[in-house]
Amino acid sequence: MTITVDNDRVLRALDDMQERSQALHPAMKVIGEAMVASTHERFRDKDAPDGTPWAPLSPVTVERKGHDRILEGASNQLARQISYEASDDSLEWGSSMIYAAMQHYGGEQSEFPHLWGDIPSRPFLGVSADDQDEILSIIGDYLTGRL
């Protein structure tokens, strides 16, 4: 049995991958779009990146808001303002809303007197196991020229 490898072709493919790895911006943009979509799914499914369901609203909050939809105000701006910024070596995504961190991490009324009660954390940003798989797939596709 004989196996022949076209070394020029293999070396060219490795050179291409190395070159592409120096300019990841296109892959980061695709990953950014995927993470924004994944974050929107979390708002739809009402769960954290690890799959934990978000804490339900308190009866006081339901009464004040007039509905029981978690992390949804009248204009649903928190979910609508999810965006990303990509470069060759980094990707950031999140919400531009000033109260996003409070909703994500939670807060206690004793620390933030303007709140009408404690806010439990309801993580909506992060990378789930499915997200990790998608990110790796995107990177693989990009480095091999399929993206």
pLDDT digits (tens, 9 = 90+) for 85-111: 999 999 999 999 988 999 999 999 888
Residue 82 has pLDDT above 70, yes or no: yes
Q: Note the pLDDT of residue 15.
A: 80
- CB atoms under 10 Å from CB of 131, counted, come to 18
Alpha helices per DSSP H over the chain? 7-21, 25-45, 59-65, 77-80, 100-105, 129-143
pLDDT band at 147 (very low <50, low <70, confident <90, very high): confident
Question: Each residue of 23-72: pLDDT tens digit?
Answer: 899 999 999 999 999 999 999 999 999 999 999 999 988 998 889 999 98
Instruction: Give the chain's mean pLDDT.
Output: 90
Nearby residues of 139 by Cβ (< 8 Å), 6 or more positions away: 24, 27, 31
Q: Note the pLDDT of residue 21.
A: 82
Q: Note the pLDDT of residue 4.
A: 65
Residue 10 has pLDDT above 80, yes or no: no
Residue 6 has pLDDT above 70, yes or no: no
Q: How large a percentage of the chain has pLDDT more than 90?
A: 63
82: β partners = 95
**Burial annotation 96-116 (CB, 10 A radius, 16+ → b, else e):** ebeebeebbeebeeeeeeeee
Q: Note the pLDDT of residue 120.
A: 95
Q: How far apart are CA 41 and CA 35, in angstroms?
A: 10
